[in-house]
Amino acid sequence: MADTFKLTHENLDSLFAALRKDGRRILAPVDGDGRTELNEVEKPSQVAKGYIQTIMSAKDVVFPKVERLLSYTTAPGTVELHDAEPKALPTVLFGVRPCEAKAFGALDAVFNWDYRDKFFNARLEKMAVIGVSCLKADDACFCTSLGGGPADTAGSDILLTPIESGYLAEVLTVKGKAIQALAPNLFTPGNGVDKAAIAAKLEQAFDQPALTAKLPGMFENELWEDQALRCIGCGACAYVCPTCVCFDIQEEADPKQGQRLRCWDSCGFSMFTLHASGHNPRETQSARWRQRIYHKFSTYPERYQMLGCVGCGKCTRACPVDMNLREHLVEAANV
Amino acid sequence: MEALKQKAKELLQNGDVKAVLGYAVGTAGVRRPHFARNPKQVDALVLDEKCTQNLATYLTKHEVKHLGKVAVVALPATQRALLQLVAERQLRDDAICLLAVDGGEVKTLSSGAEVEQHLALKTDAMPAADKAMIEKLMAMTREQRWAYWQQELSRCVKCYACRNSCPMCYCEHCTMDCNRPQWVPVASHALGNLEYHMVRAMHLAGRCVECGECGRACPVGIPVHLLTFFAEESTAKQFGQRAGHTAKLDYALSTFKPDDKETFIR
């Protein structure tokens, strides 16, 4: 059970100052050029108002789009290897939505599955999440269909829910308590607000456990081809997704030196599964689209006992051809 | 609208086409591409000023070619792209069925020549905002321009939405995906992003139909279409020809003419 407090706007100002004094950078949604994206801020007044979601997810804080894994130099007869060390900065992620906060669990499941990834873990350890509950949802949102919710605490170290004159603050984890301890007097006793009454209302769109149960029997269904026909096979959905974790290892080298990089990749790309032989087991866009659905809603539950999707709807908002994931899942659930 | 739906149903019922590609209402009222493969699916078709997508992009995709002949609801930009595809020998006349809607009347265009004739009546200049932005960029010093693009391209994540949404980016093996040899770094770092966007602009010089689809497709709002617009305008100025205006066009940057005005090439 979380400890619940009240945090006034004024005290949030002071909390930001305390966090910065503690040597942490604060990343928060910021409005600019008609977009809302995560950026470093100093004060709460710089944080965007009224946003539903940022376009890009916060995953690049722990899983950057390009990360150097090692580098090397060569001279006649020798190779000298240099391990790369992750540049993990103490970071507070402020104002991400509960869906995105939860998404770090799905990344963690992969990066700590059969191998503990030092880069991911170094960054995750130094990151704390102060989530902010949603007061509104849009047509792309479907967290409530996946067991989440607009005021869900999973993944947040502290969850703030906007109330009059400030926030209801739930201090949820050891990391959250450490933040509270920086300035304990800023957190005043909670007042028993019913946060469910304040948070956005979002109806459940489909029965996810039933969908997951029937997916294995739907592999050859013509639905996937129908849905994928307008997909243009770019990687926008995967790259804005807070849980998409696929990467490519690239070697950039010249005769004297080189480096090995980990770069984001997407199962939507036609080359993603192209074998050296020339054979491609996912030759058509519909096979690739089906893979995207199955990986998130069938493989993930089977392998990690959780979903590979949090229903944030970023993919839907970013898609150049409006592939609406919620709508497609509802269709699949109704087959 | 009714005339368009009527025509679409007719085409499908007569077996003239296997699908009609147009627009339908999507998330929160946006317009999305819509494939109507039976008369019932025709009912979802809409056509209004919110429809912007260049649908010619789909005509060279395997999955769409596989359907058989497809009728396409064609805005002027879609028509220009189709003409350019014909000029580049990517589409044959017998694969063309464009539905051009003018003031409630639906015209069926069934060959490159017919599209060319129809388009000749239109002037579809570059949007004023884009023109102004290009002028603003050209008025900058090189250093300022360099700083502008470095800043813009730093947001690129190489999702290739710009490439994949472009009707003229139909290559089966894009230079970006080529790894033997690897011409351009795959990584989305400063060099990888810059090289990608420069290559894309150069590959579209003299081929860009100025639909602006790449810029609209970019999830992070980089105005990448300004690069291809600029490259197109430069070739138009240098070679006196534009993409998407005729079905018979020799590509300016790969055609040798004995009477070339430049002496170095002779």
Report d(CA B218, CA B230) in Å as an integer.
Answer: 18
Domain count, chain A: 1
- Global pTM value: 0.95
Contact A230 B163 (CB under 8 A): no
What is the residue range of A48's domain? 3-333
Contact B30 A324 (CB under 8 A): no
Contact B160 A56 (CB under 8 A): no
For residue A247, the surrounding DSSP H or E stretch is strand A247-253
Mutate to test the interface with B, among A223, A230, A251, A272 (most CBs of B within 10 A): A230
Q: Chain B partners of A252 at a C-beta cutoff of 8 Å?
A: 185, 187
Residue of chain A minimizing CA distance to B169: A232
Contact B32 A263 (CB under 8 A): no
Report d(CA B223, CA B133) in Å as an integer.
Answer: 10
- Report the DSSP beta bridge partners of residue A161: A168
Interface predicted TM-score (ipTM) of this complex, two decimals? 0.94
The residue among A63, A68, A118, A37 whose CA lies nearest residue A265 is A63
Q: What is the pLDDT of residue B123?
A: 66
Report d(CA A5, CA A1) in Å as an integer.
Answer: 13
Residue B124 has pLDDT above 70, yes or no: no
Q: Chain A partners of B163 at a C-beta cutoff of 8 Å?
A: 234
For residue B27, the surrounding DSSP H or E stretch is none
Q: What is the pLDDT of residue A1?
A: 52
Report d(CA B85, CA B53) in Å as an integer.
Answer: 17
Write the residue in B26, B57, B186 that is nearest to A232 by C-beta. B57
User: Using alpha carbons only, how large is chain B's radius of gyration in Å?
Assistant: 19
Distances (CA, A) of A81 to A9, A86, A117, A259, A260: 51, 16, 19, 10, 11
| Stretch B12-32: mean pLDDT | 97
Residue A5 has pLDDT above 90, yes or no: yes
The model's pLDDT over A40-95, given as tens digits with 9 standing for 90+, comes to 999 999 999 999 999 999 999 999 999 999 999 999 999 999 999 998 999 999 99
Q: E strands along A125-201, which residues? A: 127-132, 158-163, 166-171, 188-189
Average pLDDT, chain B: 93
Report d(CA A177, CA A183) in Å as an integer.
Answer: 10
Q: What is the pLDDT of residue A302?
A: 97
Could you tell me the pLDDT band of residue B120, with boundaries at 50, 70 and 90?
confident
Phi, psi of B48 (to 5 degrees): -155, -170
Domain residues of chain B, as ranges?
A: 2-119, 128-254
Write the residue in B158, B185, B216 that is nearest to A252 by C-beta. B185
| Stretch B118-139: mean pLDDT | 88
Question: Per residue in A176-208, is it b (16+ CB within 10 Å) or e — as a string?
Answer: beebbeebeebbeebeeeebeebbbebeebbeb
Q: E strands along chain B, which residues? A: 19-25, 31-36, 45-46, 70-73, 98-102, 105-109
As a whole number of Å, the end-to-end CA separation of chain B is 55
User: Using alpha carbons only, how large is chain A's radius of gyration in Å?
Assistant: 21
Mutate to test the interface with A, among B21, B34, B160 (most CBs of A within 10 A): B160
| Stretch A310-321: mean pLDDT | 98
Average pLDDT, chain A: 96
Contact B160 A55 (CB under 8 A): no
Mutate to test the interface with A, among B25, B133, B157 (most CBs of A within 10 A): B157
Residue of chain A minimizing CA distance to B183: A252
Please count the residues of chain A: 335
Contact B32 A321 (CB under 8 A): yes
